[in-house]
Amino acid sequence: MGLTSNEAKALCDRILGLVKADDAEVWLSDSADQHLRYANNDITSNSLTRRVDVSLSVSYGKRSASISTNQTSDAALREAVEKVQAMAKLAPEDPEHLPPVEPGNYADPITWAEDTAKASPGDAIEWIRPVIEQARAARVDSAGYLKQS
């Protein structure tokens, strides 16, 4: 299960609370990627990985910098904020730099499918099993890759 909306907002607020720059933007990605690979009518790998990625851009006037991390501990976030602020202070001025877009009211995007979120590596095996069985029955080799995210 991924971050809830409240958890995602709390993480963004934690990051923004550390920033001392004129402007800051946080991008947060919470993903679960599953893959199943099969060859010669047999499953060769089946994995599920979850990760949270954070990107932060800060600016001082027309000087800006960005940083990305997949570490969300207080210490890691503090270090990322300190690094990106130091980089922004050293960056040359960008005459085309624009301030961030003002906050607004936006529709919530539909980015969630409960059936996909609940699917496990075991489910992936069940989805591929008929393909492998059909190939075996036809005396041919099957190979493929199933990815869901």
Which pair of structure tokens corresponds to residue 133?
């069985």
pLDDT of residue 66: 98
What are the residue ranges spanned by the domains of the chain?
5-148
pLDDT of residue 128: 92
Q: How confident is the model over 43-98, as pLDDT tens digits?
A: 999 998 889 999 999 999 999 999 999 999 999 999 999 999 999 999 999 999 99
Are the CB atoms for 123 and 134 separated by under 8 Å?
no
pLDDT of residue 14: 97
Overall average pLDDT of the 123-135 stretch: 92
pLDDT of residue 112: 73
CA angle 98, 104, 107 (to 5 degrees): 125
Length of the chain: 149
Overall average pLDDT of the 29-45 stretch: 92
Sign (positive or negative) of CA dihedral 12, 17, 18, 24? positive
pLDDT at 138 over 70: yes
Q: How confident is the model over 89-122, as pLDDT tens digits?
A: 999 999 999 988 888 898 887 777 778 778 888 8
**Strand extents, DSSP E, the chain:** 23-39, 42-60, 63-69, 144-148
pLDDT of residue 149: 76
Residue type, 139: R
Are the CB atoms for 51 and 31 separated by under 8 Å?
yes
pLDDT of residue 103: 83
Which pair of structure tokens corresponds to residue 47?
């994995």
Sign (positive or negative) of CA dihedral 112, 12, 66, 48? negative
Are the CB atoms for 43 and 49 separated by under 8 Å?
no
pLDDT of residue 1: 59
5-148: CATH architecture: 2-Layer Sandwich (3.30)
